[in-house]
């Protein structure tokens, strides 16, 4: 026969086990609820970051326009998440840099226009220079490497050293047409009559380019005939 004492002990152990399991379930439920509530509060307390997508920038070269239609780009403003009022820049914010490419393109356009204006002005000044036959005929006599000038309506103020020319006999007469600008510099030389010796002709042309006449106030290029005659000494 079963002992009533053993049955009582078994029932008491079962009751203790049920109570222990119930307490553990209640504690586990409270702990789980606490963790869930804490996670929800943590997520709610985190700041919400709004990322504003910037519009794609236009190609710099598509912004090049004539100077008359160039306008400064409007200044960029930072708006808050609500879109109502601009936000003030705080420490750590990255400032908006100016559009350096647009400024450089604008400066390059202005410099190109300035160059064109200056070139047109120089061309206009050059077109106002008149060419006349006012220098007359000049005779240059060469005796033992020394040059003497006679004739002409304009005085020679500088003569470079005459080059040494090694020839067996005196060259023939050389005749040149020269163009003299208002400052007295010979801007162009054309051979009208050659000596027959290419080295002599080249040496005389180089020599003539170094000659300087007195300056004049009139904005005119004078032309003249310069004849070189070689004489034995």
Say if residue 138's pLDDT is above 60: yes
pLDDT at res. 129: 53
Highest mean pLDDT among 100-109, 117-126, 137-146: 137-146
Confidence of residue 200 (pLDDT cuts 50, 70, 90): very high
Check residues 134 and 86 and name the one with the higher pLDDT.
Answer: 134
Q: In which band, very low, low, confident or very high, does the pLDDT at 159 lie, cut at 50, 70 and 90?
A: very high
pLDDT for the residue numbered 36: 84
pLDDT for 109 equals 81
Rounded to an integer, the average pLDDT of 152-170 is: 88
- In this predicted model, what pLDDT tens digit does every residue of 38-92 receive, in sequence order? 877 776 555 555 555 555 555 545 555 554 444 444 444 444 444 544 555 555 5
Token digits of residue 46: 């985190």
Q: Which domains are present in the chain? A: 131-231 (3.30.2420)
Task: For the chain, give the percent of residues with pLDDT over 70.
Answer: 63
| pLDDT at site 40 | 78
């Amino acid at each position: 026969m079963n002992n009533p004492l053993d049955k009582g002990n078994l029932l008491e152990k079962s009751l203790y086990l049920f109570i222990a399991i119930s307490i553990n379930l209640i504690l586990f439920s409270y702990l789980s609820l606490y963790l869930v509530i804490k996670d929800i509060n943590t997520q709610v307390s985190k700041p919400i970051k709004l990322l504003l997508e910037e519009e794609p920038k236009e190609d710099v070269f598509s912004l090049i326009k004539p100077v008359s239609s160039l306008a400064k780009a409007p200044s960029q403003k930072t708006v808050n998440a609500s879109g109502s009022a601009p936000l003030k820049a705080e420490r750590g914010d990255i400032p908006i840099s100016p559009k350096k490419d647009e400024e450089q393109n604008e400066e390059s356009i202005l410099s190109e226009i300035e160059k064109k204006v200056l070139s047109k002005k120089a061309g206009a000044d050059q077109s106002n220079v008149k060419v006349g036959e006012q220098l007359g005929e000049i005779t240059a006599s060469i005796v033992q490497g020394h040059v003497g000038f006679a004739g002409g309506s304009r005085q020679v103020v500088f003569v470079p050293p005459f080059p040494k020319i090694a020839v067996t006999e005196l060259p023939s007469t050389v005749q040149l047409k020269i163009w003299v600008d208002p400052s007295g510099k010979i801007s162009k030389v054309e051979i009208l009559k050659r000596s027959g010796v290419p080295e002599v002709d080249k040496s005389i042309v180089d020599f003539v380019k170094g000659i300087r006449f007195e300056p004049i106030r009139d904005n005119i290029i004078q032309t003249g005939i310069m004849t070189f005659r070689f004489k034995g000494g």
